[in-house]
Each structure stands twice: as C-alpha cells, then as structure tokens.
Structure 1
C-alpha cells in the first residue's frame, strides 16, 4: 500500500511541475469579469498592450495586464486586483484607499503613488521618491519598508 501512495504522490508532483508557471497570451475579453470591470473603470480599455494568463499550479491561476504606458496590473483567478505598478508613473488614486491617500499627501507632499500591492493583511505602496510604505488592511500606516 505504501508503494501505491509513493507512486501517486510522485505522479502528482510530476504533474504539478508540468503545469507550474505556464504562461499564455490571451485576449482581454478572456479576463474574468471583475478584471474587465476594473480596467474599464480605471484605465482606457484601448490602452491594453498584452494580457497574460499564468497557471501557477493545478489550483492557482493569475492574470497580468500590461498597458501601452508600461503599467502592469496583476489579478487573482477571480479577477480581483492584487497589484498595480505604474512603473514610476502615478496610478489612479481612486484605486487607493482614502486613508492611504491622505497619509501620503500629508506626510510626503509633492509625491505620487506609483505602485500599490494588496494582500490579506496589508497594503504595500511605493511613492515617486522611491520610498516603500506599508499599511495595515484598514489603511493605517505601519512602517517604511527597507
């Protein structure tokens, strides 16, 4: 019985290795509806340069959209944005929580938010002077990241 388990586990590992990190170019209309809506509401749809679907493993799929100006947007499998990277260009403020906008405007005047990444517990924000700031899920400042 242990031999069967070992073979099954080996086959599963081999299969997941084959599937790992496969990338393919797709049409923007193949993105999940949430991602399409996010782009439509925050960026001009005709700005899309390329759309990539990435299969991380058997259970995880992500999407990356690259705009003509170099901005990169990453979405999870459901089309919820995870990261918007303006590549040193300001990103739309309406996607940044108000608390974070207010903190950056007050603490770092004359800077712009050029990147935002969200996870389950925090937001990471890069501003135009190169600083990386961390905020909790409520948008409260926690630290400057090294």
Structure 2
C-alpha cells in the first residue's frame, strides 16, 4: 500500500529548493555589500584602546593628537592618530601598534625593532627610520634617504628593498 501525498504537499515540496536558493542569493548579496562597506569617524583620544593610549603616552608624551579616527575597513576596526607635525600612527582594534609614518622626522628609536635599527645603521649610516609598518609577517621600513626595506618579522632578514 502506498500513501500518496496530497497535491498541496507535492506543490509545496517542489518549491522548497527555490526558497533555499533565494535565501542563499540574499545572503551573498548582503555579504558582498558588507565587503565594500568602509567608514571612518572621528573619536576622542580617550576612546582609543588602553594599549594605544599607553603607547602614545610613552613615545609621544609632548604631542597632542590633532585627530583620532576609528575606521572600519575589510571587516577590521583600526584606529589612526594624526599629529600636527604630519606624523600618524595606526593601531589595531585592541591597540596593538601597526604602522607609523612620520614623514621626514625620525621615528623614536624605542619603537623600531633592534634588528632593523642595526641593519640600517650598518648599511645606511646617518639615515633615520621615517616609516615603520607591520603587516602580517613583514616589517616595511622607509629611511630618510628614500630607501624602502622589507624584513621578515621572525628572523629579521631582508626580504626586499626599493631605492
């Protein structure tokens, strides 16, 4: 004996895949829209994560930030601090140092990793580090003489340079 579903049930069961496909397309559209969303807004320096506030107090005690921005880009929140001298520092959402660009002014030596300082002093005497950026597994460094160097962050060997 076979039980046949009613015509109503057969009709509803056949369109279930269509609803599932519609939900999948809607989710993909929302994800694509969120992927390109980026925004920046000014915040008070007191809204910086504690680690970032301590970093600034230690390395830039005499300077007051001109602007502090909180940015959301590529599903990450970052903070960027701009000074009146033209320098700016970027932090992760937890306040970890990510980048510092001081234009032509030297970066405080305590911020630059020792291996980078030693390499720059040996091969480019008299040149100061003016930009320092840590991305994934690499340190990118710009010197005051225009040289741009890249170092592996684990063993600190030179991975590239651009003059």
User: What is the TM-score of this pair, normalised by structure 2?
Assistant: 0.81
After superposition, the C-alpha distances for 1:37-63 in whole angstroms (9 at most, x for unaligned) are: 111111126421110000115x31011
Is 1:120 matched up with 2:139? no
Matches within 5 A, 1:1-146: 1-14=20-33, 16=34, 20-44=37-61, 46-57=63-74, 59-137=75-153, 138-145=155-162
Structure 1: 4+ residue segments shifted above 3 A: none
Q: State the number of aligned residues.
A: 143
After superposition, the C-alpha distances for 1:102-136 in whole angstroms (9 at most, x for unaligned) are: 11011101111000011221111000000101111
- Please tell me the root mean square deviation across aligned C-alpha atoms, in Å: 1.6
Structure number with bigger Rg: 2
Q: Which has the higher contact order (CA 8 A, sep 6+)?
A: 1
Q: 1:9 to 1:86 in 2, by over 3 A?
A: same
Q: 1:143 to 1:29 in 2, by over 3 A?
A: same
Q: 1:3 to 1:81 in 2, by over 3 A?
A: same
After superposition, the C-alpha distances for 1:15-38 in whole angstroms (9 at most, x for unaligned) are: x157x2211000011011111111
* Structure 1: unaligned runs, 5 residues or longer: none
Q: Is the 8 A contact 1:72 1:86 kept in 2?
A: yes
* Structure 2: unaligned runs, 5 residues or longer: 1-19
